[in-house]
Structure 1
Amino acid sequence: MIYSLENSTVKITASTHGGELHSITGKKEGTEYLWNGDSKYWKYHAPHLFPIIGKVIDSKYRVDEKTYELPAHGIARIADFEFISQTNNSITFELKYSDDSLKVYPYKFSLQVTYTLEENTIKTTFRVINLDDKKIYFSLGDHPAFMCPIEEDDKLEDYYLEFNKKEKSSAMLINEEVYISHNRKEYLNDSNIIPLSKELFKDGLFIFDDLKSNKVSIKSRNHNKSLSVEFDGFPYLGLWAPDNAAPFICIEPWFGHPDYEDFNGEFKEKKGVISLEVEKEFNCSYRIFIQE
């Protein structure tokens, strides 16, 4: 089911399937900022990544010496969430463990997602609750795809990514199987600008793990419309667009990342995985700003 929420500046829609946003519309001119999910390019809009991010080796991972299988990005993006509540400025969905989920992810959990409108801002809040009688382990992140170009008459080369601090940073790269390699590539050298082009993502996804910035914006040289993602506290930021001239770019705040190509440990030993004690909860949030 699709739910909508709006204020004087912005309107959003979100679905119980995957609990994901389907639309972010600026009300001043009716501009759509979120990818429409056209399966010709990519069928999602802004999926939630839980309890893994990216791929585990051969889709398999180990917990207490037992092997389980998970598809890329885990179960949240393909699961049906339950509608929990809605106020004048927020809406909350929940995904809880089930007999089926325990077959592929052996932990009892509640994952709650709340969208809150604050003027020109959409705040996404995650709450993970340990409902098990033991410590649980997971990764958590988001995968929103934003229209780029924002205006139909623009070209991709009219746009750039702007970080809110100058960076000297290289990014983690993936191999052909979409596992993290041990290679890195410099994208920012005492700069806060990455020009956008079709060639930028020819190597696929790249992941920053050492940024000083907590905000990145998609901007155009032709007008003042822009979109920004503020990712306070998230240790990883993924950037991705498919290599088929798709008119969107994904800006992805993460706790965790795909497996390294040579990883062979237990799930709890994986770098970036969160551990959560019995009856405890984990909370994080990020913000999307539109500027018109």
Structure 2
Amino acid sequence: MTILENDQIRVSVRSKGAELTSIFHKASGIEHLWQADPSVWAWHAPNLFPVVGGCLNNQLLVDGKTYPIERHGFARQSTFETTESTATHAVFSLRSSEATRVHFPYEFEFQIIYELSGPTLTVTYRVLNEDEKTVFFSVGAHPAFAVPFGPDEVYEDYYIEFEKAEPLQTHMLSAAGYFTGETRPVATDENRLPLTKHLFDQDALVFKRLRSHRAAIRSRNHDHAVTVDYPAFPYLGIWAKPGAPFVCIEPWLGCADSEGNQKPIERKEAIQHVEPGRVFNASFTITVS
């Protein structure tokens, strides 16, 4: 376990999946990350790579060949190497191998970088192309934040406050986890999305190309908040297991497939790419205030 710490927050990261396991706010004594109760949802904050969401037939189509790939990719199940570590900074690395080539036929290094500054944790995804061809991929975050923050509150005391007031339309998912092509409006109070136990009865809320690039979890009872800023991520998922005491705010560069015919990886919706010898970077932040 790698621990990063300053005078305001302490975070822990495990080597499996380079996954955050704790975001502890010292002044309030509050643990803000869901603690992965296996009877409810056994993850804290999985990192999604090289796909986000599900692929049709659980396959990637690359250069005319199909490769088996699980929902959200293999990074979250992989062991990362810690290549740098200081009191407030750590770099975790996953390199291509025989195991990854079975699912993703590219030569790459996937780095996840964590950096503390005051009350803010910056998470950077870096993809290094070590191949002789363009590498196509998706990448995203899935942090689960514990709600309510304290024992004297209930889930319904909380809401998600978006940066801007705008109409929210969620893109509907089938039972298999693929986009159906349908949308439905999501009721808000100006720029506030109230949290309720039934908000996620029809799976995740998926928003595409919002004008807002910030979302905060807030209570009606106090000013303490957790804010996620995601300027480089045009897709956003919000999810919780129905009735569970957490909510995920998920910045994505990629998304699930739509129902219909399988598309080659370079034509998948929201696909990213990096040229040979080049490096891709995208960052988001989590701030406790």
Q: TM tier, shorter chain?
A: over 0.9
CA contact (8 A) 1:37 1:44 kept: yes
Q: CA separation of 1:225/1:96 partners in 2, compared to 1, >3 Å: closer, same or farther?
A: same
SS at match of 2:76: helix
Q: In 1, Cα distance between the equivalents of 2:128 and 2:58? A: 25
C-alpha displacement at 1:210, in angstroms? 2.6
Q: In 2, Cα distance between the equivalents of 1:235 and 1:223? A: 30
1:226 is aligned to 225
Question: After the TM superposition, which of the residue ranges 65-74 and 263-272 deviates more from structure 2?
Answer: 263-272
What runs of 5+ residues in structure 1 fail to find an aligned partner? none
C-alpha displacement at 1:263, in angstroms? 3.9
Q: In 1, Cα distance between the equivalents of 2:214 and 2:88? A: 23
SS at match of 1:176: coil
1:57 is aligned to 56
Q: What's the CA shift string for 1:216-254, capped at 9, x where partnerless?
A: 0111111222111000120100011112x1110010000
2:123 is aligned to 124
Q: What's the CA shift string for 1:2-53, capped at 9, x where partnerless?
A: 0101100000000111001000000013200001011111111111100001
Amino acid at match of 1:114: I
C-alpha displacement at 1:189, in angstroms? 6.5
Amino acid at match of 1:285: S
CA contact (8 A) 2:225 2:288 kept: yes
Amino acid at match of 1:10: I
CA contact (8 A) 1:169 1:210 kept: no
SS at match of 1:167: coil
With normalisation by structure 1, the TM-score equals 0.96
Q: In 2, Cα distance between the equivalents of 1:210 and 1:257? A: 12
Does residue 22 of structure 1 match 2:24? no
Question: After the TM superposition, which of the residue ranges 247-256 and 261-270 deviates more from structure 2?
Answer: 261-270
Q: In 1, Cα distance between the equivalents of 2:59 and 2:120? A: 38
Q: In 2, Cα distance between the equivalents of 1:45 and 1:238? A: 16
RMSD between superposed Cα atoms in Å: 1.2
CA contact (8 A) 2:91 2:111 kept: yes
2:284 is aligned to 286
1:43 is aligned to 42
Within a 5 Å distance, the mapping from 1:250-269 to structure 2 comes to 250-269=248-267
SS at match of 1:58: helix
C-alpha displacement at 1:264, in angstroms? 1.6
CA contact (8 A) 1:218 1:226 kept: yes
C-alpha displacement at 1:61, in angstroms? 2.1
1:31 is aligned to 30
With normalisation by structure 2, the TM-score equals 0.97
Count residues in correspondence. 289
Runs of 4+ in structure 1 over 3 Å off: none
2:70 is aligned to 71
Q: In 2, Cα distance between the equivalents of 1:282 and 1:167? A: 30
Q: In 2, Cα distance between the equivalents of 1:81 and 1:260? A: 31
C-alpha displacement at 1:261, in angstroms? 1.4
SS at match of 1:53: coil
2:247 is aligned to 249
Q: What's the CA shift string for 1:92-122, capped at 9, x where partnerless?
A: 1000100111111101110111111110011
Identity of aligned residues (%): 37
What runs of 5+ residues in structure 2 fail to find an aligned partner? none
Q: What's the CA shift string for 1:182-241, capped at 9, x where partnerless?
A: 111112568211111011111111211131111001111112221110001201000111
Q: What's the CA shift string for 1:67-115, capped at 9, x where partnerless?
A: 1101111010000000111123211100010011111110111011111
Q: CA separation of 1:191/1:29 partners in 2, compared to 1, >3 Å: closer, same or farther?
A: closer
1:185 is aligned to 184
CA contact (8 A) 1:4 1:13 kept: yes
CA contact (8 A) 1:17 1:81 kept: yes
1:101 is aligned to 100
